[in-house]
Structure 1
Amino acid sequence: MGLIVTLLLVVGFIVLATSQLKLHPFLALLGAAFIAAFAYGLPIDSVVETITSGFGGILGYIGLVIVLGTIIGVILEKSGAAITMADVMIAKLGDRFPTLTMSVIGYIVSIPVFCDSGFIILNSLKESLAKKLDTSPIAMSVALATGLYATHTFIPPTPGPIAAAGNLGLESSLGLVIAAGIPVAAVAALAGMLWARRFVNTQPDVDDTLSEAEARHQQQDWEALKASYGRLPRPLAAFAPIIVPIALICIGTVARLPAAPFGEGTAMAVLSLLGQPLTALLIGLLLATALLKSENRIVEFSDRISEGIVSAAPILLITGAGGAFGAVLSASPLGDYLGSTLSTLGIGIFMPFIVAAGLKSAQGSSTVALVTTSALVAPMLDSLGLGSDMGRTLTVMAIGAGAMTVSHANDSFFWVVSRFSRMSVGLAYRAQTLATLIQGVTAILLVYLLSLVLL
């Protein structure tokens, strides 16, 4: 019992430090690792080595993947590729199902682009379509936000799911995570879109209180926004940097299956190499260079790399600190104790969901919830019956479902959606926060059903 009380106190420290004291999650997780190491009685001379090896171990492979994925996302955002993706979706889906159109656009754009940035970029499109189709901008906002949120928490190369997969030992099997994440995220996005339809007759209930820069962005119509990017990329060039790496990762995962569907010769070796996440994302980055527009592409490319590194740095630090925290928990007796205790309760796949949902709701960051929960549950997966690759994959999905439950006032995405949608806090709670609750619950129920079939 003392082991559980200690764990609750350590998790409470993480929540208090990040939500109330506003301490950066990196320091909160690193501090939690030291606290847990001493509380669980790890030998003093091994504490620092355990923490540093955990920090470096997770970043040794996943770190480069996170950086490359972030750089690709920056290039897609700055080049207008996200705008092209949205235009393609509008052309394919037409104007008959506006909320579905916004949900699908969000679902695709948020795979390479952070959901906060994606919502701001697509806000003008959302407003323009709402006026053109005489549809509530509130319904369109919730559909867009939930579509963005779904892939943000489930599908690599978004950093959160990558970090969770790394903590759970799936760094070489991201294809499985992608293959599971695509349908789970689609169902979560559909649930959010159906909830959004409840607000088709609801109008914004606050006046514009945006900053001058935000107000200009709000008033800019879709055509003007597209014109501001100059020549937009062609659809093939826009989609290739994200579609090709995902396809290669999935093919590489299939090539490495025990059944060896591509044989065991040169073809298997080549496909396995190309399907390694690092190699696949390097190819994606190479394809992304076609989106560069300036006359001096080398300088522009260097600038985008710098921006990507700056964006990735906090995520790398959080991921590394989460790895350090997980290494301490793995070295403690907690894993065996919790595994044997929880296995008798029969909650299985719901356990990581509950932990992630608690962390997400308490401190606001989906990435922190993904990293912390995956580090915490990794030592006990075998005892929970989730030790296989498929079990670990479904655990990433369960954590992702928890990491979207729920988005409210301590989440920056909540404020992006509410401010740009001109929603009061009360309306945002009814529309956006409840939507993320429905998404999370729907996703974990689907993951549970999948676990009954696949485990």
Structure 2
Amino acid sequence: MSLSQAASFAVVLALLALAIQRGRVQPFLALTLAAIGFGYAAGMSTSGVGKAFGLGFAQGMNTLGLTVVAAAFMAEIADASGATAWLQRAAAGRARPSLPLALIGLIAGLASTPAAAFAVLGPLRRGIGEDSPRSALVLGLSLSGSHGLLILSPVMLASATILAADWTTTLAFGLPAALVAVATGLLLAQRTSGAAHRVDTAGAMDGESLHAPRRGAFALGITSAALVALLVTQSLGDIASEPLGGGSNREFLIALGRPVVLLLVGVGLLLLLGWHREKGGFSEQGWAGRALAKAAPLVLLIGAAGGLSKIAQETGMAEMNAERLIGFAPSGALALLLPFALAAIVKTLQGSSLVAAITAAGMMMELVGPLGLGDSAGRALAALAIGAGAMSVSHINDGLFWLVGQAARLPAGTTLARFSLATGVQGAVALLLLMAFRLVCH
């Protein structure tokens, strides 16, 4: 049954990409119909499909939708103040324009989720990356590679904790692997994406706002750094050992990365530091109304992607298909193939990297010894292999996929070819490097 469900999922994915790519079906409608169609094909009842889709839609809106709204507000304020145009002029002619974004993504990958980090960094990316498809791909792939391989990210915290891997050893192996993964993403993005697109902010410079582009750019940079810091702090609050304190202290740290906090801090700090004033800015005709109009389609897509992910989780097909591999027992450095494959299968079929890491690590708990990975280096490398697999092949059931695709202005089929495939290549390259480390250290 699980194999037939996985096959149905693949068919739905192909049909969805084809329908959107040719422009025959609006993306939100196509994704919603795909989620419902897959639910029926997987054998779920009408009530089960409706309940699962509704829960997933609500979770997607709650965890990421409001963050996207916050980012849209910030982008409109940055455009209206001239900050975006100022940053683009400063970046013009730079020899390696994508490198700063790759470095930002490497650091911001420590955030609670790469999708939230991509959203809050969107306004800054449009300035220093000139709002190009390349800049969206570079940032998305850098966040993905870092999040799957650096120890303080939730994905790595989960896998390392469950497998009792030493953090220092995991960091020693994970940092070079993350650097290689980010460099791979940078190379792939540069080879597959087009030229930059400059943002036209002339319409916002109507004399009714205090236009201070340099100050606005400074405010945007500070605000973006502050939001990423909040998301990273939220990740630290999730550490099981509670190094920053438990109880109410831990709840406070986790709350710092909540979407509503990001909205209040992001918009408030940008307005305060940039000292931007626009007549009627909070109205439907001002930056608030413009931002909501632009953000609405993407927010709905994220909700629908959450609905599809929840339906896939309810079927249990991800875990059942992953369990088929448990009997596979490669030896030596090839043993790392198993944790990578377990995480990659779960991630591909149900969409959540954190769930994939937790599930794969739970399956590997009793297998690290028989596979020859019971030593300190082996456990660290197994945890990293899980992280690499958990970030591989981000596609339609993952909010990050839609964020990157919409930012790059690419249809779903093209995003699958350029972003999803690239995340798979990143994972494979990281796995090969981890296997090389195992050969040297064993």
Same-fold call, TM cutoff 0.5? yes
Amino acid at match of 1:397: M
Task: Find the partner of 1:103 among 95, 99, 107.
Answer: 99
Asked whether 1:375 is paired with 2:366, we answer no
Task: Find the partner of 1:338 among 300, 321, 325.
Answer: 321
How far is 1:120 from its partner? 10
How far is 1:52 from its partner? 1.8
Asked whether 1:315 is paired with 2:298, we answer yes
Match of residue 243 from structure 1 = 225
Amino acid at match of 1:307: R
The percent identity for this pair of structures is: 19
Distance in 2 between residues matched to 1:52 and 1:434, nearest whole Å: 30
Distance in 2 between residues matched to 1:112 and 1:182, nearest whole Å: 24
Is this contact kept in 2: 1:150–1:186, CA < 8 A? no
Q: Which moved more, 1:75-84 or 1:107-116?
A: 107-116
2:220 counterpart SS class = helix
Task: Find the partner of 2:126 among 118, 127, 130.
Answer: 118
How far is 1:60 from its partner? 2.8
Distance in 2 between residues matched to 1:294 and 1:36, nearest whole Å: 48
Q: How does 1:197-216 map to 2 (within 5 A)?
A: none
CA-based RMSD of the aligned residues comes to: 5.4
Asked whether 1:271 is paired with 2:265, we answer no
Match of residue 288 from structure 2 = 305
2:17 counterpart SS class = helix
2:44 counterpart SS class = coil
Task: Find the partner of 1:398 among 381, 388, 392.
Answer: 392
Amino acid at match of 2:268: L
How far is 1:246 from its partner? 0.9
Match of residue 285 from structure 1 = 267
2:78 counterpart SS class = helix
The Cα offsets for residues 291-314 of structure 1, whole Å up to 9 and x where unpaired, read as: 353353754797222222222222
How far is 1:83 from its partner? 4.8
Amino acid at match of 2:99: S
Q: How does 1:42-121 map to 2 (within 5 A)?
A: 42-83=44-85, 85=87, 98-104=94-100, 112=120, 114=122, 118=126
The Cα offsets for residues 144-195 of structure 1, whole Å up to 9 and x where unpaired, read as: 8645422134549xxxxxxxx99xxx9xxxxxxxx9x999886566446668
Amino acid at match of 2:279: N
Q: Which moved more, 1:52-61 or 1:272-281?
A: 272-281
Distance in 2 between residues matched to 1:305 and 1:182, nearest whole Å: 40
Match of residue 423 from structure 1 = none
Q: Which moved more, 1:26-35 or 1:443-452?
A: 443-452
Rate the CA distance shift 1:26–1:445 in 2: closer, same or farther, 3 A. same
How far is 1:6 from its partner? 2.3
The Cα offsets for residues 277-303 of structure 1, whole Å up to 9 and x where unpaired, read as: 542442122111133533537547972
Distance in 1 between residues matched to 2:101 and 2:184, nearest whole Å: 15
Distance in 2 between residues matched to 1:434 and 1:322, nearest whole Å: 19
Asked whether 1:445 is paired with 2:429, we answer yes
The Cα offsets for residues 403-446 of structure 1, whole Å up to 9 and x where unpaired, read as: 9xx9xxx9994889xxxxxxxxxxxxxxxx99997786346523
Q: How does 1:342-381 map to 2 (within 5 A)?
A: 342-343=325-326, 346=337, 348-349=339-340, 375=351
Unaligned runs of 5+ in 1: 124-143, 157-164, 171-178, 199-203, 221-228, 357-371, 417-432
Distance in 1 between residues matched to 2:280 and 2:393, nearest whole Å: 40
Distance in 2 between residues matched to 1:400 and 1:185, nearest whole Å: 17
Rate the CA distance shift 1:310–1:120 in 2: closer, same or farther, 3 A. farther
Distance in 2 between residues matched to 1:436 and 1:88, nearest whole Å: 31
Match of residue 307 from structure 2 = 324
